[in-house]
Structure 1
Amino acid sequence: MDTSSWTFDPSVGELLVQTHAAGPAARLGHDLTIVMEDWVAELSWSDERPSVADVTVQVASLSVLRGDGGVKSLSGPEKALVRSNALKALDAKRHPTIGFRCDDVAATDDGYRLAGSLTIHGVTRPCEVAVRVTDVGDRWHLTCESVVRQSDFGVTPYSLMFGSLKVADEVTVSFTATRPH
């Protein structure tokens, strides 16, 4: 690994959000896979080890990849409606970015533990994530998965039918990227 800085973006990685249907009518809803299409992660190195990480995500870049489950598959217009509802829930006009700032990096057996702060919907909370780093010959493969509770950040999960069908409060955020040696 080098001793400078690394930049990751959608050209070398993927940032996904998984949601799940909840409530008494959950079987009618879809478990969604959402991709964030505009983001950048900067990783700074000091003394041949990572020292600072900054991630910025443009909320308006949210796009619905697919919906699993439900009574029928999601059509294009339904995906657009889901996107619109998600942008409203996140109040994307007032809070156009999501950010993670890490300034405490510790080595683990299979990568690093990053501790810092996560800002969503204008609310900042402590956050810790484990990043797995795998040497796959000519490149590094990085993966990370973390559960985020929307209500911790003042986001009210979307619901309809008087709450009988809603998006579960907890969503799973996953990150994958590759970088040449």
Structure 2
Amino acid sequence: MAKNPRPLSTIATTTRSRALPAALLCLLLCACAPAALTPPAVPAAPSSPSSTGKPGARPAAPARPSAPAAPAGQPPAAAPPAGAKPPAAPANYYDQARAAGRQVLRIDARNSLIAVTVRRGGALARFGHDHVVASRAIEGQAVAPANGQPGRTDFRFRLDEMIVDDSALRAHAGLNSPPSADAIAGTRSNMLTKALNAEKFPYVQLSATSASLDGPLQADITLQGVTRRYAIPAKLTATGAGLSASGALTIKQSDFGITPFAVFGGAIAVQDQLELRFDIVATLNGTINGVTNGTINAPR
């Protein structure tokens, strides 16, 4: 007598139970890198049939994707069109300052740093990693506030020159377990190609003014073609050699149209907030990408 076949529901249940651990492992590994900063993909416009329904008629034009909405509870900030150059000082601002007898300083890249800590979140956060990305390749100019005249700085840095998970910077951020070399390489690749689209938006731009050395800085930060304004508490110090500024602030990825990555309903996620700290040094003989005593224009 032939044996009764196993019910289909039993077979499906067994298959799902074997597949779940593998799927869970894949998703946990994907959540470790700042691919978590990946912005939402713009869905491709479907091919629409002609309104007449006649064969051979041209399809309707696809709809343009809408711009990202401002975060809830915050006033919308002006955002230039995608790919547009960020706002900057007038082309002759630093020439005019120099002609007026004010010292025009250059950013000293050897002694300047911008570091951003990206932290994991969610109930299963222990399966992910926190990361620190930083730049020491900062270029720009500055004028210190003096004699009742406000100070100003304009500088920028390239995303593809950022350092990922430097051991000393991780230790400063309180992160004592460095990811593997493969994880760091994957984080860098995902950050540049998926999260930040560095090919289209290669620079992060900052323009800031201050009425006095007591601050705060009124700063416009431009990332991914979106500009937001922040009042940044900062310590400004003028010396005979130049000017330094240091401080910290927290920004949100969503403020720049970036949606933090999450799976399992948020059980594994990257936090929306980014912790940014900076130490910027500007001198008369600043170093720009290893070149001293050079002349550069305000980034724009």
Output the TM-score relative to the length of structure 1.
0.80
Deviation track 1:19-62 (CA, whole Å, cap 9, x = no partner) reads: 11111211222221211242224212465555221121211112
Match of 2:157 in 1: 57
- Indicate whether 1:14 and 2:113 are aligned: yes
Unaligned runs of at least 5 residues, structure 1: none
Distance 2:200 2:145 in 1: 35
Could you list the per-position Cα deviations for residues 117-138 of structure 1 after superposition, in whole angstroms to 9, with x for gaps in the alignment? 2111111122222220347898
Paired positions, count: 175
Which residue does the alignment assign to 1:144? 247
3-state SS in 1 of match to 2:215: strand
Which has the larger helix fraction?
2
Is 2:259 aligned against 1:156?
yes
1:57-76 paired onto structure 2 within 5 Å: 57-64=157-164, 65-66=166-167, 68=175, 73-76=178-181
Question: What is residue 206 of structure 2 aligned with on the other side?
Answer: 100
SS in structure 2 opposite 1:107? coil
Rounded to whole Å, the distance in 2 between the matches of 1:124 and 1:137 is 34
Residue 130 (structure 2) aligned to one of 22, 31, 48: 31
Structure with higher Rg: it is 2
Query: Relative to structure 1, is the Cα distance of residues 160 and 92 closer, same or farther in structure 2, using a 3 angstrom cutoff?
Result: farther
| Amino acid paired to 1:119 | T
Structure 2, unaligned stretches of length 5 or more? 1-100, 285-300
Aligned AA for 1:11?
R
One-letter code of the match for 1:93? E
Tell me the TM-score normalized by structure 2: 0.51
Name the one with the larger strand percent.
1
**Farther-moved stretch of structure 1 (127-136 vs 141-150):** 127-136
- Check the 8 A contact 1:86/1:158 in 2, yes or no: no
Over the aligned positions, Cα root-mean-square deviation in angstroms equals: 2.9
For 1:139 and 1:4, locate their aligned partners in 2 and report how far apart those are by CA, in whole Å: 9
Specify whether residues 149 and 16 from structure 1 end up closer, same or farther in structure 2 by C-alpha distance, changes over 3 A only.
same
* Per-residue deviation, 1:154: 0.8
Change (3 A) 1:9 1:58: farther
